[in-house]
Structure 1
């Protein structure tokens, strides 16, 4: 296939998928508050919901391992994950169980993360190196801009019409599935496909052994993952405290939540996404992540000022959006950056796996801190872990070897 046509179809697929899934992600981000305010979930159910979001990444590696050295499976991997991940949300209008909502959210998050290695490998195969970071940045910006504006329309309806969110989810899921059309048109050149004999037994420990072997052989990649683990762990420690702080201390409506979480965060993400992309071309990934975690550490500080004025909550989420723009760019691109000419899926799979590992302990640590010290202390301790990540990454930035730049 003509190179220009392959590039254009791949770019269209990534950008259209990002745009079409944005409405669903916007309403999904409010799901924890829906559980608290509308479904009256217990504290245990809230803790399970928060913990499962990262923990399911452990199972994501088995989905992503399906495409390791099998480019012919990349497109199918995306389409199958999309169909399965959105299916449970079509039953929201008729099922009134917090556990079903928690299970649907966990399945969606598992498959959402499970397809990241496939997407990154598709971009690596079909796009020149200079276009990859730009297309990831553009896709994320489209998703966040759309997701920032839509909640301003549906959140006021949720305040006056309890339960209307049950209709929003299937509609948004159906819109997201329209992206399958563009994914199906992604070209996979037969000349690029390496047929690898399928193992007779897919041992449960196989992805873990491969990940450990990769980290042992690539100390620079291991160092990056440890730094990202500290910063990501700090953010996860904050998560159980945020809904408690919002509902019990600030008493926010859905409209205020939408303005903060969707609009302000989306604006911060959109206006700085290109800046992060240009900055990534000038500094190594260690220094870039160290700056990202500084913004993560500032987030809880400004959030606590929200007790004095709601404006500080909006400022906090504006900073969170700035942080997330840099975080998602470095997290997504770390696989192709470290892999260089190798298959990038094992590197991206390790990043997904690391989310699940820190999800095993960080949210529960946050819940314990909330119970024993209060939500404010949990937020500040999470910020402290982010500062530790900045110091570690800054100290270790020389470990980024010239071979991976």
Structure 2
């Protein structure tokens, strides 16, 4: 028996309406609504600015924009793309500094200042020269922008923990991540379309730049310089997002500051890298989790700059075709997959969660390997979709996983350890990927870099499975405490 088309349309509308309504502040308890509404509005603006430091997007933009510019070489640009790919994680190396800086201070004000600084980095990219020096200046601004954004990420964890109870925190983090993912994908799509428009002679974009007669834009490269118009606009959206976030209020700010100061004692020096090792030495369970996370994450970080290079060199992809794979499809799929992952994570320890979730990245790496070897763009797109599903689960575990080990007053410190070690692997994994790419490229075997990435992810995933069986007591204790806490809220 067929379903009435009108009824089918109505059902689809109801599902869509219910999904959208779940993001509205009224879907939460009254005490949570005001801060959530402000954060939601801020995270509607910020992802637009973050396009300017998005590693997946900026690797492609840098490579295509500066190819054949004065003084540039393929190997030099590949290294610059590797730097962009590593920028996120290298910036995270400053997490311990930001953790110390935020101790005992107004965290919301600090976040706002860091948002403004990051936005200014994005705006400054419009001024880099059209040369090899300009390519490296752009890569450096992406890196500096991520140093500031690392402070936002590190400090934000404490704001979330103070403002949102555990029973709501995962759901709220998922909602904000979903909004950020969708806006990010839309922003990258618009930027890609604009850059493709600028990249063709006699379009409105090139005519606009030509008529502006900007002194440092040379006529022979004018079709590669649309970023000079686009990036200042991205920066303005970042400043708007920062102004909205300034209205967020941190519950118990004074009490939290006192507790942080009393528990930190004399270890508040912002130049104390040994703090990372002391936390890992004291908490064996967290140390084992971080080791597996380190190996598993290296595979993911290794893939992205190589993907940008192969899309351009092997597929001759346009801005849109390249960014569709690296920075549009993955985030657009995240909101669809986040509810599934959020439900899974809310009911289990992060070790149990990672033992399931981490295999998604193995599949993504194998898709990229197969698509690149066969030169089949659709398989690359499939790998991008799988990667998006993996990112959806990863963003939750990345932001909240450390809280399964840390006490409330240790939240920032544990998050700092987690973030800084992400930076350590990010300091070498993208460069390793680019080095393998350059080494294998002369023989036409550069696609097998994705095989190395899949292997690393597999080793990390197996490590989580081993932890799942070796740390049963820890997981059982956490599950009991979590059930009791959820029942009392």
Structure 2 length-normalised TM:
0.76
Q: Which residue of 1 aligns with 2:235?
A: 173
Q: Distance in 2 between matches of 1:46 and 1:90?
A: 19
Is the counterpart of residue 392 in structure 1 residue 392 in structure 2?
A: no
Contact 1:244 1:375 in 2 (8 A): no
1:183 and 1:236, CA in 2 relative to 1: closer, same or farther beyond 3 A? same
Please point out which of 353, 356, 359 is paired with 2:420.
Answer: 353
Contact 1:339 1:347 in 2 (8 A): yes
1:313 and 1:44, CA in 2 relative to 1: closer, same or farther beyond 3 A? closer
Is the counterpart of residue 82 in structure 1 residue 103 in structure 2?
A: no
Q: Distance in 2 between matches of 1:242 and 1:211?
A: 32
Q: Which residue of 2 aligns with 1:127?
A: 164
1:360 and 1:181, CA in 2 relative to 1: closer, same or farther beyond 3 A? closer
Contact 1:234 1:384 in 2 (8 A): yes
Q: Distance in 2 between matches of 1:316 and 1:39?
A: 27
Q: Which residue of 2 aligns with 1:342?
A: 409
Q: Distance in 1 between matches of 2:99 and 2:315?
A: 40
Q: Which residue of 1 aligns with 2:306?
A: 241
Q: How much has 1:308 moved relative to structure 2? A: 4.2
Is the counterpart of residue 91 in structure 1 residue 124 in structure 2?
A: yes
Q: Which residue of 1 aligns with 2:85?
A: 50
Please point out which of 100, 110, 131 is paired with 1:65.
Answer: 100
Please point out which of 305, 315, 319 is paired with 1:250.
Answer: 315
Q: Which residue of 2 aligns with 1:365?
A: 432
For structure 2, the residue ranges without an aligned partner over 5 or more in a row are 1-27, 200-224, 480-489
Q: After the TM superposition, which residues 101-180 of structure 1 pair with which residues of structure 2 at under 5 Å, given as runs?
A: 101-162=138-199, 163-180=225-242
Q: Which residue of 1 aligns with 2:45?
A: 20
Structure 1 length-normalised TM:
0.91
Q: Distance in 2 between matches of 1:281 and 1:50?
A: 31
Q: Which residue of 1 aligns with 2:448?
A: 377
Is the counterpart of residue 259 in structure 1 residue 296 in structure 2?
A: no
Report SS of the residue matched to 1:121. Answer: helix
Q: Distance in 2 between matches of 1:204 and 1:124?
A: 23
Q: Distance in 2 between matches of 1:396 and 1:362?
A: 24
For structure 1, the residue ranges without an aligned partner over 5 or more in a row are none
How many pairs does the alignment contain?
Answer: 400
Report SS of the residue matched to 2:66. Answer: coil
Q: How much has 1:403 moved relative to structure 2? A: 4.6
Q: How much has 1:200 moved relative to structure 2? A: 8.8
1:308 and 1:46, CA in 2 relative to 1: closer, same or farther beyond 3 A? closer
1:220 and 1:13, CA in 2 relative to 1: closer, same or farther beyond 3 A? farther
Q: After the TM superposition, which residues 181-260 of structure 1 pair with which residues of structure 2 at under 5 Å, given as runs?
A: 181-188=243-250, 189-195=252-258, 196=261, 203=269, 205-206=271-272, 208-260=273-325
1:155 and 1:365, CA in 2 relative to 1: closer, same or farther beyond 3 A? closer
Contact 1:120 1:336 in 2 (8 A): no
Q: Distance in 2 between matches of 1:160 and 1:328?
A: 33
Q: How much has 1:181 moved relative to structure 2? A: 2.7
Q: How much has 1:88 moved relative to structure 2? A: 2.4
Contact 1:277 1:329 in 2 (8 A): yes
Contact 1:60 1:111 in 2 (8 A): no
Q: After the TM superposition, which residues 267-306 of structure 1 pair with which residues of structure 2 at under 5 Å, given as runs?
A: 267-306=332-371
Q: How much has 1:235 moved relative to structure 2? A: 1.2
Q: Distance in 1 between matches of 2:279 and 2:95?
A: 18
1:149 and 1:89, CA in 2 relative to 1: closer, same or farther beyond 3 A? closer
Deviation track 1:296-318 (CA, whole Å, cap 9, x = no partner) reads 11112212333443221221111
Aligned residues: CA RMSD? 2.4
Report SS of the residue matched to 1:347. Answer: helix
Q: Distance in 1 between matches of 2:325 and 2:83?
A: 24
Report SS of the residue matched to 1:344. Answer: helix
Q: Distance in 2 between matches of 1:244 and 1:291?
A: 30
1:127 and 1:77, CA in 2 relative to 1: closer, same or farther beyond 3 A? same
Higher relative contact order (CA 8 A, sep 6+): 1
Contact 1:240 1:370 in 2 (8 A): no
